[in-house]
Structure formats: C-alpha cells, structure tokens
Structure 1
Amino acid sequence: MAPPKIIKALNESEVICTYDEASNPIIPKKTLRSIGKDVLDVFLPAGYPHTVTPDYTPYQIYDSLQAFSSTIASLLSSRAVLQGFGVGDSTSSATAAVLLTVVQESTGRLATIFFAHRHGQAIEPECKYYRFLADIVNDSAFFLDILSPALPTYPKILALCGAGVLRALCGISGGAAKASLSAHFAKNGNLAELNAKDGSQETVISLLGMLVGSLFVHFVHGKMAVVVSMIVLVGVHLWTNYQAVCSVQMRTLNRQRLTIILEEASSPRGAILRPDQVAEKERILTWVGPRITFATTFPRLREISHFKNQKYRNRGYVIVQQPTGQKIFLKQGTPTMAALEAWVEAHTGSHWPADSTFWKSLKAAGWDLQTNAMETGPSVRIVMGDENKSA
C-alpha cells in the first residue's frame, strides 16, 4: 500500500488533511490535545501565533491574570458603593441614590473630556505608561468606594464622585492605550479580529472572576477583612499588570526608547539595541528624560532669532537653546525622520544624517522609523520665510 498523501499549510507544521491511496480523506480521531486546540481557537486570532507579534502571548497571560483579580476587587467595591448609596438603610431614599448617581456620572464624564483634551495625543507614544496608569487610578477608585460607607454625607459624596472621576480616567486612558497595543500586536491586518478575540477572552475571565468573587464577598464582611482583602487583590492586580506592560516590545521610537538606544550606541560597546532589548531597560512610570521638549506653542519673540542659524537652513527642524533646556521646532512638511534627527542632535550635540549607518542599523534591528511617537502634545509647525523665497 502506498503511503498516504499529506497536504501541509504553507509555513505551517500542522497537517491539514491526509488521503489514502484512493484519494479518500482520512479523518483523524479527536484527542484531548486537538479538543483543547479547538477551544483555544475560539479565543485566539486566526493563524495564531504567526499572525501576532511574539510578545502577544506573555502580555495576554498577564493581562488575563490582572483582569481576574480586578473583577474580584470590583465586586467588593460595588458592594461598598451600594452601601454608600444607602442600600439596606431604611432612612435612605431611592431618589437620593439616583441623584447621587447622576452627580457621580456627570463628574466622571466631564473628567473624560478634560483628560482626552490634555493627554489624548500622548497616549499612543506612551501607551505602556498610560496602560499601567489606568489600572493605578482604577484601583485608587476601589479604595474610595470601600471608604465611602463609613463617611458622613458630604465627604461620602466627594469620595463617590472622586471614584467616578478616577474610573472615567481609567476608561479613556486604558481604552486608548489598549487600542494602540492591539495595533502593535496585529501584524497580518487582523486588528479587528484581534480586538474581537480579546473581548472574548475578557468575557470568560470576567465570568470566572465573578464566580469566584461571589463566593469571596459572601464570606468577607468585616471592615478590616475588606480592607486587607482589597490590598491583596490590588497588589496582585498591579503586579500582573506591570508584568504585562513590561513584556510588550514596542517597535516605534518614543523619547525614552530613542534615548536608551543613543546611550547604548555611544557606550564603549557601541551596539544598536533591538526592540526586545530596549523593552528590558524601559521604565514604565519613573523615567526622567533629558531636558528636551518639542514645541507645543508658537515661537515667542526671543526664540525667533534662533531661526536665523544657518546650520538649520536645510534641516527639518530648529533647536532653540533655553535656560531650562532645549526646545525643538519642527518645520512644516517635514517627514517623521525630522523629529528623530532633532532629538538625536539635541541629545548628542551632533547632527546624524538620515541616510547614515545609524538609521540603517535601526531599521535593520526592527525599529519603525515611519511612525511619529516623539511628540506628546499639540503638533506645532513653523515656516521659514527665507527658505520659501529661495525655493
């Protein structure tokens, strides 16, 4: 008997189908491994792991763990909020609870508008920072919630409104940062499916968390027990979230990542770090960069004189020296590389041409040089009059 024909998927090691010598398909028996794979396929992007970046798996594992502990903590918080609204108190009215809810929701939505206006442009370049920050403010809201039942009327209102504001900030910060991370993970044009599967994962984790949390809140009642439990849950939540964020290997160059690369390139080793190597050195909350900023307002009179410096005539930027540091003005119509070149010159004190070995090495190391992740505020562009005349 001739051996069965085997058809394999391109770039895959998994057998799609086998045929006998009469060209009849041989249906393999279901095993626990194949059943488990079928279940995982419901929650993972099609073609996993080839259609996502390598850091997708560790991020999702830690993200699932942090969502599980957060769900349990939210149940303790929700019970405290209901107590704060007067549930179970014969002296409280439904109208007062509704009015308090309206005030809490209103302050939260106003905070969302203000936060999006002030920090919206910074979320994508600093998505790891804002993803972790979202859970810090959300956990802070939990503590305000469990504190509220023990407070007098007016402090209670302030505490519940403060919790609403923090929760709203978590929503806008975490949601926007998560969208940026999803765009990073999706490498096969599968962003929509990846987000859909991520929603499925969160649903299952939330259901498991509510199941365990229901038993948890049934046995935890005392004030001290609630506080201690919340501290433990929040500690686990923040640790797993921090590990999730640290596992992400962004390929775009923001201020911190480019500074890390420059410091390593100027060291005796002179190496160009890859995205995974830079991710190990990144700091999520505590990084303090050099005193270099990008202009977020139009030039002041004392700054205009710097634009006459001839060395910036054919460059896409102008660097203004100030007592507090250096300010970079980008010219209108300049490519993304201008922001990177300007940061390099401001940091090193020398101009590295865009076609130099340095930029080629960055691209070869896997860095994205086409996405502007340097500016975290309003994008201001200047027009050089002399250059326009000469053109």
Structure 2
Amino acid sequence: MQSLLYAIGLGAGSIPVAAALNWIIKDGLGQLGGVLYASSMGEKFDSEPKRLRFNAALAMQGACLVDLLTPLVPHLFLPLASLSNIGKNIAWLASSATRAQIHQTLAMHDNLGDITGKAGSQTTAAGVVGTGLGVIVSAMVGHDVPSLLAAFLPLSGLSLWALHQSNCVVVTRTLNAQRLDLVLADFATTRSVPTPETIAPRERFLGAYRSLVCVNPPLTGESDATWVRGGKVLAAPGKVWVAAGAEDEDVLRGYYLASAARDAEQVEKFVAMVMEAGWHAHCVHVDQDRNAVQVVVDADANGKDTGATR
C-alpha cells in the first residue's frame, strides 16, 4: 500500500492521511454491507440458525483469504479490503444472531443466562489459545503468501469441518420448511412424527434449501384449494398462501394440506402428534421470505362470504 501511494505521487507526509482515509472507507463499506445483510435476513436468523451460522464461518474464512491475497495486488487494496471487511461484518452479525437461537435450544431448564455465560467463557479461552498458536505458526511459516496459504487452507478446512459436526448435534425444535418436509415425509410413510432429536442429524445446511411446497406463489384460480380454519391460510397441492396475522398452527395445517400427505381428515391428528413429539408448533417459519397475501372478504348476493384473496 505504501509503495502504491508513492507511485501516484503522494509524499511521505501525505501517506498517513491517505492510509487513514482508505482505512476509514473500507471500514465504513464493511459496516454498511453488514447492516444491509442483517436487514435482508429478517426471521431467517430464527428459522435457519445452523445454516446461517455455517454461512457466517464461510464468510469469515473467505474474508481472511482475501486478506492474505491482498499483498499480491496492492493497487487493489481498497476494493479487496472493503470486500474483506464486508465478509467479516456479515460473519460477526450472523454468528451473533444465530448464536442466541442456538443457545436457546441448549437451555433445557430455562437457563439461557448460564448457557450464554459458559459459551462466552469457552469462546474467550479458545481465542486466547488460538492467538498463542497463531503467533507460533506465524513465526514458523514466515511472511510469504504461498507459505501462509499452505498453513491457512488446511486450518480453515478443519475449522469448517468442526463447525459442521457441531451443527449436526444442535437440536432445533422450531419448524422451518426443511424440518417440516422431513417430518411430513416420515408421517406420510409411517404415520408417526419423528422427534427433533431424530431430525437434527438429517438436516442439510450447505447451500439453499428449496421445498416442494411453494409458499405464497402468484395467486390464480385454484379449483382444488382449501381454506384452513380461521380463513387466513389457503392450501392447494404443492402451494400454500399465508395471510398477514395467520396463526402458526394454521400455517402448519395449511402446509400439511399442501404437502404430499393431503389427507384432510388427518390434519388435526398430525398437529397434535407434532406437539407431542416435542416440536414447537407455535413457531413455524415457512413464509419469512415472502410477502403475506391480503385477504378481503366479500359477500355475494345471498350474503355468503366469498373469501376473495389478492
């Protein structure tokens, strides 16, 4: 960076000011990127804590990799440093937000404060040990980029593998699209609802998950659609529409009717079995990425509600 500033004609006295300006810009862009990311995620921090926690680790490792490669192209310091800072801010925000949800799953006796305190102590201890080991490894490796990459890449892979393994043992009792699909698949074949402990190791959190049930697609004429009690959830094969203010249990009923099960006579039994299995039926996150539809109830000439939806 210093050689770059000299190359564009800045004198020695100007270098500290220019360097400070670049540092401020990259930090500002990084924080702005983190804010935009957090605002776009919404309820996903609650519905997808394991996926976003792993994505946060990927963002952090990617940002560190960009830091290591930046000396190779000093003339791209500002864009690369800004990109790295954005990744680090995203990682920090995502890991902080998802950590709270994961701690909640571990608080079996309403001891969230105890869990958070112990997790913080473990994080601090790991950070101290990691810093010491980092100093030793850095002294052994040197400062050339190929040697740093040779040390960084395997350690980065080990860190991601360890996080993946720890995610697999976290038991999340709320229902999102993936967990609900797994529950419904078992119910359709065995007429039993698996427990959260059974579903946890079967979850996949690498890459985005796409459910077979589409939530709030464009609404057209649906001759086989079914209104769920309460009138705020409409279900058709492979589709479900959720209106603003719909109860989570009604969303669960609608998702059930839209799935491959589609046995209306079993819906109440299914909901009861979900709660008995230990799932939180009052926390169903399947429409967090969609705008809720608006339901306008009209009356026909005979005074009968037509349930117009838009």
Is residue 357 of structure 1 aligned with residue 279 of structure 2? no
Give the deviation of 1:368 after TM superposition. 1.2
For 2:81, the aligned partner's letter is: L
| Alpha-carbon contact 1:319-1:328 (below 8 Å) kept | yes
Distance in 2 between the 1:360 and 1:132 partners? 32
* Corresponding position of 1:132: 54
Give the deviation of 1:215 after TM superposition. 1.4
Question: Which among 255, 273, 297 is matched to residue 194 of structure 2?
Answer: 273
For 2:47, the aligned partner's letter is: P
SS at match of 2:175: coil
Distance in 1 between the 2:118 and 2:240 partners? 41
For 2:67, the aligned partner's letter is: D
Structure-2-length-normalised TM-score = 0.84
Give the deviation of 1:168 after TM superposition. 1.0
SS at match of 1:237: helix
Give the deviation of 1:376 after TM superposition. 2.3
Question: Which among 252, 267, 280 is matched to residue 340 of structure 1?
Answer: 252
Give the deviation of 1:384 after TM superposition. 3.6
For 2:98, the aligned partner's letter is: A
**Gap change, CA 1:266 and 1:305, over 3 Å in 2:** closer
Is residue 110 of structure 1 aligned with residue 32 of structure 2? yes
Is residue 165 of structure 1 aligned with residue 86 of structure 2? yes
* Corresponding position of 1:212: 133
* Cα-to-partner distance string for 1:125-169 (whole Å, 9 max, x where unaligned): 01110000000011000110000111131x222111110111111
Distance in 2 between the 1:333 and 1:287 partners? 27
* Cα-to-partner distance string for 1:340-368 (whole Å, 9 max, x where unaligned): 11211212262546863222222222111
Give the deviation of 1:312 after TM superposition. 1.8
**Gap change, CA 1:166 and 1:354, over 3 Å in 2:** farther
Distance in 2 between the 1:170 and 1:84 partners? 30
SS at match of 2:43: helix
Structure-1-length-normalised TM-score = 0.68
* Corresponding position of 1:52: none
* Cα-to-partner distance string for 1:89-143 (whole Å, 9 max, x where unaligned): x969322221121111111111122112211222210111000000001100011
For 1:204, the aligned partner's letter is: A
Give the deviation of 1:390 after TM superposition. 6.1
Question: Which among 201, 225, 234 is matched to residue 318 of structure 1?
Answer: 234
**Gap change, CA 1:84 and 1:208, over 3 Å in 2:** farther
The within-5 A match list for 1:195-210 is 195-210=116-131
Shift >4 Å, 4+ stretches: 81-86
Distance in 2 between the 1:115 and 1:256 partners? 22
For 1:93, the aligned partner's letter is: I
Q: Of the two, which has the highest radius of gyration?
A: 1
SS at match of 2:287: coil
**Gap change, CA 1:332 and 1:156, over 3 Å in 2:** closer
Question: Which among 181, 191, 198 is matched to residue 259 of structure 1?
Answer: 181
Range 156-165 or range 356-365, more displaced? 356-365
* Cα-to-partner distance string for 1:192-227 (whole Å, 9 max, x where unaligned): 332222212211111111112111111211322111
Superposed CA RMSD: 3.1
* Cα-to-partner distance string for 1:217-242 (whole Å, 9 max, x where unaligned): 11211322111100011011100011
SS at match of 1:328: strand
Distance in 1 between the 2:265 and 2:246 partners? 14
For 1:225, the aligned partner's letter is: S
SS at match of 1:124: helix
| Alpha-carbon contact 1:125-1:375 (below 8 Å) kept | no
For 1:279, the aligned partner's letter is: A
Flag the structure with more relative contact order, 1 or 2, with Cα contacts below 8 A and sequence separation at least 6: 1
For 1:230, the aligned partner's letter is: F
The within-5 A match list for 1:287-298 is 288-295=209-216
For 2:234, the aligned partner's letter is: V
* Cα-to-partner distance string for 1:243-287 (whole Å, 9 max, x where unaligned): 1111111111111011111112222x4442111111121111246
Distance in 1 between the 2:266 and 2:32 partners? 44
* Corresponding position of 1:188: 109
Distance in 2 between the 1:127 and 1:138 partners? 16
For 2:83, the aligned partner's letter is: G
Paired residues, number: 296
